[in-house]
Amino acid sequence: MSTATLPPKKTNRIGLEVLSYKGGKTTLCAGCGHNSISERIIECFYEMGVEPWSVAKFSGIGCSSKSPAYFLNLAHGFNAVHGRAPSVATGAIMANRNLFAITVSGDGDTASIGIGQFIHMLRRNVRQIYIIEDNGVYGLTKGQFSATADLGSKLKTGVVNELPPIDCCVEAIQLGATLVARSFSGDKRQLQAILKTAIAHQGLSVIDVISPCVTFNDHEGSTKSYSYMKEHDEPLHELDFVPSYEDIAVEIEEGEVREIEMHGGGRLRLKKLGRDYDPTDKMNALRVLDEAEHQGHVVTGILYLNTGKPHLAELLNLVDEPLATLPEARVRPPREALDQMMEELR
Amino acid sequence: MSTTEVSPAAALPGETHQPVINDFTIQVATINGSGSQTANSVLMRALFQMGIPVSGKNLFPSNIAGLPTWFTIRASQHGYVGRKKEIDFLVAMNPETAQEDVLKLEPGAAVVYDEPLKLNALRSDLQFYPVPFDKLVGPVCPEARLRKLVRNMIYDGVVAHLLGIELEEIRKALLKQFGARKAKAAELNWGAVVAGRDFAATNLAKTARFAVQRMNGTAGKIIIDGNAATALGCLFAGVTVVSWYPITPSSSLVESLIGYLKRFRIDQETGKATFAVLQAEDELASIGMVLGAGWAGARAMTATSGPGISLMAEFSGLGYYAEIPAVIVNVQRVGPSTGLPTRTMQGDILSTAVLSHGDTKHPMLFPSSPRECFGMAIQAFDLAERFQTPVFVMSDLDLGMNNWMSDPFDYPTEPIRRGKVLNAADLDRLGGFARYKDVDGDGVGYRTLPGTHHSAAAYFTRGSGHNEKAGYSEREDEYMNNMDRLARKFDTMRAHLPPPHSELNPNAHVGILCAGTSRYAAEESRDQLRREHGLETSYLRLKAYPFGKELADFIHRHERVYVIDQNRDAQLLLLMRLELDPDDIAKLRSVRYYGGLPLDARTLTDEIVRQEGF
């Protein structure tokens, strides 16, 4: 035993094993879509070589909001109050603009109690990845509808939703998020590509991930079930993210693939599927979402991408260093400043 | 012209011929939005420049323009700067309130009024000075649209003449008010002052009982409002993140702060800001951002008032339980609900002390003056980081929005202390840490900041039950241990908060106890009680909650202690009851005022005399 040579441990480009990106053991239900999303986060942060201690995790309240405890144990986490993670994350990013922020919220947390903070976060283009683990129901309180539940969707108890849903992606595109995507927790490849693009994006990424609730919303008549998604998922494109450190030249057939350079390094490659979708066209994105809603499809992929807009820390013209740890000499004006003020008030 | 209407020229019944020097209150009644603020500030500043202690109180409506507003200026050679109920000199410019204002005056008071209002017919025991403002303003202000604003400066000239305020001081105050950039506007207004003075000199007999004489009571002092003073404190405390939602009477605090930050905190080399200010969508978000920033290591603050405090309840509990530094300035106004948004009250003492659900308790500081606003703002940041908890600075509208005479502020002598924060080198040395473990026996754990480059730095912050290592826990013992430690931390604070101001009188059986702006009326009332009733009193002014041992010591020394509250429910007294022994509680008596105006001494004196049974 002791003499046997162990195979070399696999590490990423900053020399960390995937273990450094793992979290605590999940307490969510077996088969919950949220657990798949946590796994994708672990894989993508590992593969992209993000320093885990530079990450700050935020969440609100609900099943989704427990999940930051299940990935990136080496990152600080903040489980805030219901629907208010955006303000906490915004404050933390103002305090330290170098933090790599990821917020995990749910459909109730974002679209019901938290809609106000969600919308104002969009306006500010706060640099972070904001994931909505969207299952259309409240799990911890045992299966009530949330504001993203589709019209006509049926609860296990037979209650039918008679109110139209809030489409968080429509809100995000209209109000200022600079990367807006929709995915399905069961689509590993697509979600990975979106997450990696979001990691490289210098702005707010809103990713609405349909993540079925196996306990309260995975039955016949639900529009957020695994089977419903398998039948109605309509990917806009085949996505691939090529990180800057893996810059391989690929033969591209004219008109088949779009490429977008990301400010944080790397390229997003979008391969045409049926139609040629341009994610930089805001009005088209809104039209496609509107059509899909009427046709009963769930379009997934990167719906909208704008790499040219300043994020909050840039808008605030903050110094490059974190405000939180500036030395006294830079935050307490000198005695002469107070003397001058006193003189003016005499 | 109406020179013959000056009446009565003869002495009034009971009038002494010796004028009262430097001891009177002027009240100017105008219409909101008519530009009277400038005229009033200039009048106040001119008195100040003549060395006479002054205070100014703006009593204004919750309205942009059109509703009645009153500004009172008190001159007091004894240095009393609290509100005085009796008005000695009324300037009646508002037709809507003029009659009622005149009818409320004490006999012998003087009234300058807009001539068409014909107020002199109302009473015969006052001195009336009619002034034809509209006739006078025309020649000095050819531009008709500016007349409404310039018109008010005329009364400055009239009052200056009648009281003997030096015109040169009015001019100096006017130029200071307008600044070099608005020299043209200053000259226009100066023309109105001179017109008023000339009219009065020619047409009005100088018969008022009150007069001004230069004295030396303001040398070296400044004039500032409490909100600006608090803002300066935040600036020198090294605040880095400010998030706020506009609400009267706290908005001017953050607006002042933004001005100071832009002036003093732009990095010379890069032109970039060493601060972030964000106007949030509501108070839920502003406190959320402050907690996020405090968690990430910034000195973060917000300012608000009662309705905002109510909205901050849930997050305040998170700040308490997850132990996150934050500074919240509560510039209190009259509640409940929207209440009287532009009137003053110490109405949030109880609700702030226990803001949020569950067993939550918050430290509070009670500034009473601009100097304390400045000093306590700095202390609040130090305390918040030292004890890793939200700290509430309990100002009020009277302190925050009115102009006060003050000694200049002292530059902080202590360096900025950031509390128990472990960096990567500390973690190397220690090998790890437990976020909520009471290592030092003071109830305060050690924290790390997100972004600390160390594999042992991270911990999970949550408002749900947690153990010493910040792990999720619903265990009975771990929950109780944590809550007991939080109580211990709260107790530790008592010795580190600013101690009360105490004046012990060995001959006194009666004590007077108050906090914040109640001090001005309380201190003047003590003089009234001694002078008018021979009642000696001791005095304790609290500066912070949780209370220190000085409170019980003070009560032990006295037979009766009057606790002054600017609210209906005796909130300060009730908060004491939560901490005191029954014997001490039995000695407490309540004196309350809750009408929304700044507290005055006579109200206190009358009530204490009543309860004393004199």
Assign 3-class secondary structure to chain A: CCCCCCCCCCCCCCCCCHHHHECCCCCCCCCCHHHHHHHHHHHHHHHCCCCHHHEEEEECCCHHHHHHHHECCCCEEEECCCCCHHHHHHHHHHHCCCCEEEEEEEHHHHHHCCHHHHHHHHHHCCCEEEEEEECCEECCCCCEECCCCCCCCECCCCCECCCCCCCHHHHHHHHCCCEEEEEECCCHHHHHHHHHHHHHCCCEEEEEEECCCCCCCCCCCCCCCHHHHHHHEEECEEEEEECHHHCCCCCCCCCCEEEEECCCCCEEEEEEECECCCCCCHHHHHHHHHHHHHHCCEEEEEEEECCCCCCHHHHCCECCCCHHHCCHHHHCCCHHHHHHHHHHHC
- Structure token pair of residue B310: 């109510």
Question: Is the confidence at residue B14, as pLDDT, over 80?
Answer: no
> pLDDT tens digits, residue range B283-334?
999 999 999 999 999 999 999 999 999 999 999 999 999 999 999 999 999 9
- Asked if the structure places residue A334 within a domain, the reply is no
pLDDT category of residue A4 using cuts at 50, 70 and 90: low
> Which residues does B315 contact at the CB level (< 8 Å), separation at least 6?
A81, A84, B284, B287, B288, B291
pLDDT score for A254: 59
* Amino acid symbol at A146: S
CA angle (A309, A310, A314) in 5-degree steps? 175
Burial class (CB in 10 A: 0-12, 13-18, 19+), B366: buried
Interface of B with A in 436-455 (CB under 8 A): 448-455
- Residue B209 pLDDT: 86
Provide the domain count of chain A: 1
Look up residue A243 and give its two tokens: 């990180």
Q: What is the mean pLDDT of chain B?
A: 95
A177/A306 Cα distance (integer angstroms): 8
pTM for the predicted model, two decimal places: 0.96
Q: Is the backbone peptide bond immediately before B336 cis, with ω within 30 degrees of 0?
A: yes
Q: Which residue range forms the structural domain that includes residue A158? A: 18-325
Kindly state the average pLDDT of the residues A265-281. Answer: 90
Average pLDDT over residues A227-236: 94
Q: What is the mean pLDDT of residues B378-407?
A: 98
Per-residue confidence at A249, pLDDT binned at 50, 70, 90? low
In angstroms, rounded to a whole number, what is the distance separating the alpha carbons of residues B296 and B325?
Answer: 10
Domain annotation for chain B: domains and CATH numbers: 3-211 (3.40.920.10), 224-406 (3.40.50.970), 424-496 (no CATH), 501-612 (3.40.50.920)
| Cα dihedral B569→B573→B579→B580 (10° resolution) | -130
pLDDT of A162 over the 60 cut = yes
- Would residue A218 count as lying in a domain? yes
Give the mean pLDDT of B537-563: 98
Distance, CA of B566 to CA of B587 (rounded, Å): 20
Between residues 116 and 175 of chain B, which touch chain A (CB distance below 8 Å)? none
Average pLDDT rounded to a whole number, residues A318-326: 98
**CB of B464 less than 8 A from some CB of A:** yes
Taking an 8 Å cut-off on Cβ atoms, the answer to whether A88 and B289 are in contact is yes
The answer, yes or no, to whether residue B1 has pLDDT greater than 80, is no
Is residue B186 within 8 Å of B175, Cβ to Cβ? yes
pLDDT in tens, B451-466: 999 999 999 999 999 9
Nearest neighbour of B450 by CB, restricted to A68, A92, A333: A92
Between the alpha carbon of residue A172 and those of residues A97, A122, B165, the distances in Å are 22, 6, 63
Give the percent of chain B with pLDDT over 70. Answer: 97
**Nearest chain A Cα to B232, which residue?**
A338
pLDDT at A21: 98
Torsion of CA A248, A249, A255, A259, to 10 degrees: 40
CB contact under 8 A, B292 and A20: no
- On the question of pLDDT at A138 being above 50, the answer is yes
Contacts of A312 (CB under 8 A, 6+ apart): A90, A93, A94, A124, A125, A126, A127
Q: Is residue A311 part of a domain?
A: yes
User: Using CA atoms, how far apart are residues A184 and A187, in angstroms rounded to an integer?
Assistant: 5
pLDDT greater at residue A257 or residue B370? B370
Dihedral sign of CA atoms A97, B286, B516, B578 in order: negative
Q: Other C-beta atoms within 10 Å of B211: how many?
A: 17
Say if residue B8's pLDDT is above 90.
no
Write down the pLDDT at residue A3.
59
In this complex, the residue of B284, B293, B409 whose CB is nearest that of residue A92 is B293
Side chain identity at B253, as an amino acid letter?
Answer: L
Residue appearing with tokens 């530009």: B35
User: Which of B237, B285, B459 is closest, CB to CB, to A76?
Assistant: B459
Q: Hey, is B138 helix, strand or coil?
A: helix
Does A294 map to a domain?
yes
Contact A204, A179 (CB under 8 A): yes
Q: Which residues of B touch A121 (CB under 8 A)?
A: none
Q: How far is B163 from chain A (nearest CA, A)?
A: 23
Q: What is the ipTM of this complex?
A: 0.96
Summarised one tens digit per residue, pLDDT across range B253-265 is 999 999 999 999 9
**Can you tell me whether residue B226 is helix, strand or coil?**
helix
Q: Which residues of B touch A338 (CB under 8 A)?
A: 232, 236, 409, 411
Q: pLDDT-based confidence at B605, cuts 50/70/90?
A: very high
CA distances to A75, B29, B239, B536 from B299, in Å? 22, 42, 5, 45
Given a cut of 90, whether residue B409 has pLDDT beyond it is: yes
Specify the pLDDT at position A264: 84
Asked if residue A327 has a cis previous peptide bond (ω within 30° of 0), the answer is no
For the segment B83-105, what is each residue's pLDDT rounded down to a tens digit?
999 999 999 999 999 999 999 99
User: Is pLDDT at B12 greater than 80 in this prediction?
Assistant: no
**pLDDT score at A139:** 87
pLDDT digits (tens, 9 = 90+) for A52-96: 999 999 999 999 999 999 999 999 999 999 999 999 999 999 999
Using CB atoms within 10 Å of the CB of residue B522, give its burial: 0 to 12 exposed, 13 to 18 middle, 19+ buried: buried
Report, as an integer, the average pLDDT of B573-580. 97
Average pLDDT over residues B490-513: 98
Contact assessment for residue A39 and residue A185, using Cβ atoms and an 8 Å cutoff: no
Does the pLDDT of residue B10 top 60, yes or no?
no
Does any domain span residue A11? no
Q: Compute the average pLDDT of residues A179-205.
A: 97
CATH, residue A146: 3.40.50.970
A146 is a domain residue: yes
Is the predicted pLDDT of residue B54 greater than 70, yes or no? yes
Q: Is residue A340 part of a domain?
A: no
